[in-house]
Amino acid sequence: MSQPQFRVALRGEAILTHPRFNKGTAFTTAERQAFGLTGKLPYRINSLDEQCQRAYDQLQSQTTDIGKNSFLQSMKDQNWVLFYSLLTRHLRELIPIIYTPTEAEAIANYSHLFRRSEGLYLTFPNRDSMEEDFLEATKGNSIDLFVSSDAEAILGIGDQGVGISAAKSVIYTLIGGIDPSKAFAVTLDVGTNNESLLNDPLYVGWPHERIRGKEYDDFVDKFVQLVRKHFPHSLLHFEDYGVTNAQRLLQRYRDTHAVFNDDIQGTGAVTLSTLMAAIGVTKSKLCDQRIIIYGAGSAGLGITKQLRDAMVSLDKISVEEANQKFWLVDKHGLIRESLPDVREDLKEYVRKDSEWEEIQAQGDSNGEIKLLEVVKKVKPTVMIGTSTHAGGFTREIIEAMAAKCDRPIIFPLSNPSKLVEVDPKDANDWTKGKALLATGSPFPPAKMPDGKDYIIAECNNALIYPGLGFGAMISHSRIMTDTMIIAGARRLASLSPALTNPDDALLPDFGDAPSINFEVAVAVAEQAIEEGSAGVDWMKEEVREKAKEKLWRPIYGEYVFDEDGEK
């Protein structure tokens, strides 16, 4: 692999404290002389391998996962190549440290663990200087990706005020191969309704209740318009916005800029891939499924819509017919006509009261139809959890499903691990090894009745969103279309180990996430070219080679000092 060359304008302390250019003890003799570092570094020149070895040893001396997460965070603040290189070498071991589940704990303690700011903080009381702040932070950078969050629904841990965008941005680089200097994390701090944060004197965000309504919309719009004006070819990623805003914002901007909501579209896509793999095992069609979605928030709705659209486009049934394959259950039970305050975006999936009269008559005093009743009546083939209700899939519910279905497909997707709707080991035991399982966070294999391991697929949007994003970015897509997302999801499904061995995991191993996401990116860019959404004039056949050229890899470049160079 040839070494990239850079002309750099930083010297001495300035280059040593710049995480993009810092090499620490790996600066060569010539670079030490050219950049004024001879007296600032110990004598020995280390290779990247040696630095990784040292860093890994230091990491091992941390005894807790959160300690490891903090150690890695500080390494990222110091040296990007070393940070990503270390993660790449120990991917399977370290993803759970920098992503779910440990990142949830890190975000919940953001204000207490805080050492250094990163990316851009756009805070509501400073809205008048938003353009100035935006331009100051992005000055001189060619940014391809903005990862934004208002932190209202972080993983399953709710309103955290500030957090997450940086971790999701890291995954784009680590797994998607996106140059970290071209990716930018943006925190939109519009307040928090989290009482314990509001009462915490160390809380670093704006201690004020969340801004809603027109003021919120205007604030977000100001940000989106700045992105569109100054970086018209960038991808704008939305992460962990609250359910009342997530779908609305996506609808508002999706036809005018390449925007992507990970919880809706990324989760929808990865779940479609996983389900396609599962029905490959059960030898059935998507439109043959009866699907219960437990938790009808951003992820639940995104999954429903993605699966519904796939039934329409792949199985050629009508939208109305496809809508009838879903039963959405939220905290007030089955979503049906007489339930008050059903969100507008769920209206298509509302079930008729007349179908449930008999059950309702036997139900509790609130008239809510609970998951168990829905399972007994519907006899689902698929049950997906995005509820944050730990243990919501009880033994009784799982056994009721398994009693009427040969191979129940069960995906408890809530993160972090402690919020999973059912431990996959239990679901496996209660169904006597018949269930086809996937979870949102990593879990150890379950034991089949014959003693063999059943690998639990990790159905997490990180297995697909970096590829979806990279594909859209390299093809300079003006918008991210549903067909581009379906192309990526189908490519991921085609890589399922269960296609060749039905007893194997439904999805490829997260340790292979970089090569998997590369395949997704190629499929997305090919689709963008085919349908005319792309802004490049490549032939489809060229995409793979072009994509390879664009991949960022964690290797040190060769630096030459130049006063007009990069800084």
Residue ranges of the annotated binding site for a divalent metal cation are: 239-240, 263
Positions 215 through 254 that interact with Mg ion (CB under 5 A): 240
Q: How far is the CB of 77 from ligand NAI (least distance, A)?
A: 26
Determine the straight-line distance between the first and last CA of the chain, rounded to whole angstroms: 25
User: Residue 331's binding partner, choosing from ligand NAI, Mg ion, ligand PYR, none, with beta-carbon cut-off 5 to 8 A by kind?
Assistant: ligand NAI
Judged by CB under 6 A, does residue 191 bind ligand NAI? no
Judged by CB under 6 A, does residue 306 bind ligand NAI? no
Name which position in 262, 309, 373, 423 contacts ligand PYR (CB under 6 A). Answer: 262
Q: How far is the CB of 566 from ligand PYR (least distance, A)?
A: 33
371, two tokens: 């998951």
Let me know if 325 is a catalytic residue.
Answer: no
- What DSSP character marks residue 158? B
Q: Are 401 and 308 in contact (CB under 8 A)?
A: no
Please identify which of the residues 23, 68, 168, 325 carries the catalytic annotation: 168
- Segment holding 5, helix H or strand E: strand 5-8
State how far the alpha carbon of 52 is from the alpha carbons of 5, 25, 78, 126, 558, in Å.
22, 12, 14, 41, 19
Torsion of Cα atoms, 104 then 110 then 115 then 118, to 10°: 80
How far is 87 from 82, CA to CA, in rounded Å? 9
Let me know if 99 is a catalytic residue.
Answer: yes
Name which position in 51, 245, 298, 304 contacts ligand NAI (CB under 6 A). Answer: 298
Q: How far is the CB of 461 from Mg ion (least distance, A)?
A: 7
Q: How far is the CB of 404 from ligand NAI (least distance, A)?
A: 22
Please identify which of the residues 99, 121, 241, 253 carries the catalytic annotation: 99
Residue 155 or 227 having the CB closest to ligand NAI: 155
Q: How far is the CB of 193 from ligand NAI (least distance, A)?
A: 13
Number of residues that bind ligand PYR (CB under 6 A): 9
Residue 103 or 263 having the CB closest to Mg ion: 263
Number of Cβ atoms within 10 Å of the Cβ of 248 = 15
- Segment holding 561, helix H or strand E: strand 558-561
Q: Are 322 and 306 in contact (CB under 8 A)?
A: no
Q: For the window 135-154, what string marks contact with ligand NAI as x by the rule CB under 6 A?
A: ------------------x-
User: Residue 389's binding partner, choosing from Mg ion, ligand PYR, ligand NAI, none, with beta-carbon cut-off 5 to 8 A by kind?
Assistant: ligand NAI
How far is 470 from 528, CA to CA, in rounded Å? 12
Judged by CB under 6 A, does residue 155 bind ligand NAI? yes
Task: Give the helix ranges, DSSP H, for 421-464.
Answer: 424-430
User: Residue 459's binding partner, choosing from ligand PYR, Mg ion, ligand NAI, none, with beta-carbon cut-off 5 to 8 A by kind?
Assistant: ligand NAI
Q: How far is the CB of 544 from ligand PYR (least distance, A)?
A: 28
Name which position in 73, 323, 461, 477 contacts ligand PYR (CB under 6 A). Answer: 461
How far is 24 from 59, CA to CA, in rounded Å? 17
Judged by CB under 5 A, does residue 152 bind Mg ion? no
Instruction: List residues forming the annotated binding site.
Output: 239-240, 263, 415, 460
Q: How far is the CB of 544 from ligand NAI (least distance, A)?
A: 27
Judged by CB under 6 A, does residue 415 bind ligand PYR? yes
State how far the alpha carbon of 58 is from the alpha carbons of 62, 80, 352, 433, 482, in Å.
7, 17, 60, 41, 44
183-189 and 145-149 strand pairing: parallel
Within 13 Å, how many C-alpha atoms sit on residue 538's CB side?
A: 22
- What DSSP character marks residue 401? H
Judged by CB under 6 A, does residue 475 bind ligand PYR? no
Number of residues that bind Mg ion (CB under 5 A): 2
Q: For the window 325-364, what string marks contact with ligand PYR as x by the rule CB under 6 A?
A: ----------------------------------------
Q: Are 122 and 130 in contact (CB under 8 A)?
A: yes
Task: Identify each DSSP E strand in 342-444 by its residue range.
Answer: 382-385, 409-412, 436-439
Q: How far is the CB of 297 from ligand NAI (least distance, A)?
A: 2
Burial level of 265, CB count in 10 A (0-12/13-18/19+)? buried
State how far the alpha carbon of 404 is from the alpha carbons of 378, 431, 434, in Å.
10, 11, 12
Name which position in 460, 477, 496, 517 contacts ligand NAI (CB under 6 A). Answer: 460
How far is 123 from 524, CA to CA, in rounded Å? 34
453-454 and 446-447 strand pairing: antiparallel
Instruction: For residue 559, list its beta bridge partners.
Output: 6
Q: For the window 239-258, what string marks contact with ligand NAI as x by the rule CB under 6 A?
A: ----x---------------
User: Residue 269's binding partner, choosing from ligand NAI, Mg ion, ligand PYR, none, with beta-carbon cut-off 5 to 8 A by kind?
Assistant: none
Name which position in 150, 159, 240, 458 contacts ligand PYR (CB under 6 A). Answer: 240
Q: How far is the CB of 302 from ligand PYR (least distance, A)?
A: 10
Judged by CB under 6 A, does residue 460 bind ligand PYR? yes
Q: For the window 354-393, what string marks contact with ligand NAI as x by the rule CB under 6 A?
A: --------------------------------xxxx--x-
Q: For the window 120-159, what string marks contact with ligand PYR as x by the rule CB under 6 A?
A: -----------------------------------x----
Angle at 147 between CA 146 and CA 152, to 5 degrees: 140
436-439 and 558-561 strand pairing: unpaired
Helix, strand, or coil (residue 239)? coil
Instruction: For residue 294, list its beta bridge partners.
Output: 329, 385
Q: Which residues contribute to the site for Mg ion (CB under 5 A)?
A: 240, 263
Query: Would you please indicate which residues are annotated as catalytic (active-site) residues?
Result: 99, 168
Residues that bind ligand PYR in the complex, under the rule CB under 6 A: 100, 155, 240, 262-263, 415, 440, 460-461
